[in-house]
Amino acid sequence: MKNNKPVKMEDLISEIELQIDDTFTFINTNSGEVITLTREEMRTVEDEEPFEKFPDWQRENIEKAISIIEDEDGVFVDFTLRNNFNEYEIIEEFIVRLPDQKNREILDDTIRGRGAFRRFKDRIIELGVDKQWYTYKEGKIRQLVIEWCKEHNIEIQD
C-alpha cells in the first residue's frame, strides 16, 4: 500500500475518548481520514435499504459505509478500539501512582459503585490532581494508539 497517508494523532485520540456505543471507526489509509459511522448507517448498507429517506449529512456517511463494505483493496482499516480502552482500569492505575496516600484512599473510595466516573472527576478537581489525571490519561491513550498503529502499519502525524 504505497499510497498510505499519515493519520493525525489528535483524530485517533479523539475517537478513543468519545467511545460512543453503536459506532464504528475506520481509517482511510489513502487519505488519512478517520471515519465514524453509526450502526444504523452500516446496517442500511448491509440490508441494501434505499437511503433517500435519510438527511443529506447521513447520506454522505452511508456512501462512506458503502465504500468500506465494498473495499476489496484493504484501503479501510477498522479502528474501533472501544474494547482495548478501559478508562476504569486507567483510573485505578492513576490512583495507585499518586504519591499522596490520603489522596489515593479518597479516590479509591470515590470510584466504588454507581456514578464512579462523575464522582472521580469532581473529586480530582477538589484534590487538585485533575491536570495530572488528564495528562496521565492522554499518555495512556497515546500509547495505545502508537502500539495499534505500529501493529497495523499506519503512520501517525503528530
73 in any annotated domain:
yes
Q: What is the mean pLDDT of the chain?
A: 90
Question: Is the domain of 95 the same as that of 129?
Answer: yes
Instruction: Answer yes or no: are the C-beta atoms of 107 and 120 closer than 8 Å.
Output: yes
Q: Which DSSP string do the residues of 77-90 spell out, in sequence order?
A: EE---TTT--HHHH
Q: Specify whether 12 is located in the same domain as 63.
A: yes
* Domain count of the fold of the chain: 2
Cell of 125: 478537581
**Could you give the maximum distance between any two Cα atoms of the chain, in Å?**
60
Q: Are strands 23-28 and 76-78 parallel, antiparallel or unpaired?
A: antiparallel
Shared-domain flag, residues 76 and 120: no
pTM (predicted TM-score): 0.80
pLDDT in tens, 115-138: 999 999 999 999 999 999 999 999
Identify which has the larger pLDDT, 23 or 126: 126
- Asked if the structure places residue 153 within a domain, the reply is no
- Give tens-digit pLDDT for 27-72: 999 999 999 998 888 988 888 877 778 888 888 999 999 999 999 9
CB 44 within 8 A of CB 65: yes
- Of 50, 82, 114, the domain-final residue: 82
* 74 shares its domain with 104: no
Give how far Cα 125 sits from Cα of 89, 90, 128, Å.
Answer: 19, 17, 5
